[in-house]
Amino acid sequence: MLKFLQHEINIFFVALMFYSRLPCPKSLIHKPEYLNEATRYFPVVGWIVGGLSSAVLIALMLILPVSVALLGYMLTNILLTGAFHEDGFADVCDGFGGGWTAPKILEIMKDSRLGTYGTVGSLFMLAFKFELLRNLLNFSNANLWILEIVPLMIAGHSISRMLAATTLYTHSYVRENEDAKAKPLAKKISLPNLLITLFLGILPIFFLMIIDLKSFLMLFFGVVPLLYLIKILMSAYFKKWIGGYTGDCLGAIQQVTEVGFYLGALILIRNF
């Protein structure tokens, strides 16, 4: 049992090391195959990133306007992940915006330079995320916003990462070069790992039951299925053009579904 726990703790820190910039123990044992196992803890990294960023937001909200505090929140998020997913989204915008064949799309996505499509897409995504979160804070109950919005933010991080991870089960990795950023994750994850990922990804949203059961039910049965539909459509689009997914594609799915979650939550708060 102790050996099993030590192994799982090690796998968790492998996930934390790969998906964030947070420090990990020096005693960490790293093997390339561990990254495939670490996928099950991808949503937990979302808990941590979302939680730490929300803590910064709460602290800044005490002394600064909402808009400035949100900029601090988003900057913290980027610093904690090294803009890992934002970079993937930008590369996808460049690749699929400027390429018309699979080899050309993959070549553009691998290019470290940022193009026009990536620049415009990134600016729009960041601005859209900022406005959605600002409106969520403005429409929330002034006395309960920490209990209402912070769980939503954490759920947005974990659910979007969960949806990106499901692509490893449903689709195939397409790059052949060993230095690609997602190459260690190229193998399909097992069904047990997928189920663990789904459970950990959806878990934060259950905290909303304590605060507002109606909102929880609408998010769980309305917004989350729509996000999975978005994931299916994005994955199908990637498969059509390049035959599967790359690490950049996973980053794009994470970014789009995270923003989609906030959009769905805002619609519920405004209209119900």
- Asked, for residue 8, whether it belongs to a domain, the answer is no
Distances (CA, A) of 70 to 66, 205, 223, 271: 6, 21, 23, 23
99 part of a folded domain: yes
Query: Would you state the pLDDT for residue 202?
Result: 94
- Output the CA torsion sign for 246, 248, 249, 251: positive
Q: Quote the pTM value.
A: 0.92
Does some domain include residue 219? yes
Q: Distance (Å, rounded) from C-alpha 153 to C-alpha 232?
A: 23
- In this predicted structure, what is the pLDDT of residue 269? 79
Q: 5: how many CB neighbours lie within 10 A of its CB?
A: 9
In a domain, 90, yes or no: yes
Does residue 51 lie within any of the structural domains?
no
Structure tokens, 122: 């990134």
Q: Is residue 151 part of a domain?
A: yes
pLDDT given at position 186: 43
Both tokens of 38, joined, read 């670490």
Q: What is the mean pLDDT of each run of 10 residues along the chain (272 residues)?
A: 82 90 84 82 95 94 93 96 95 94 94 92 97 87 64 94 94 69 59 93 85 80 94 96 94 97 89 76
* 241 within domain boundaries: yes
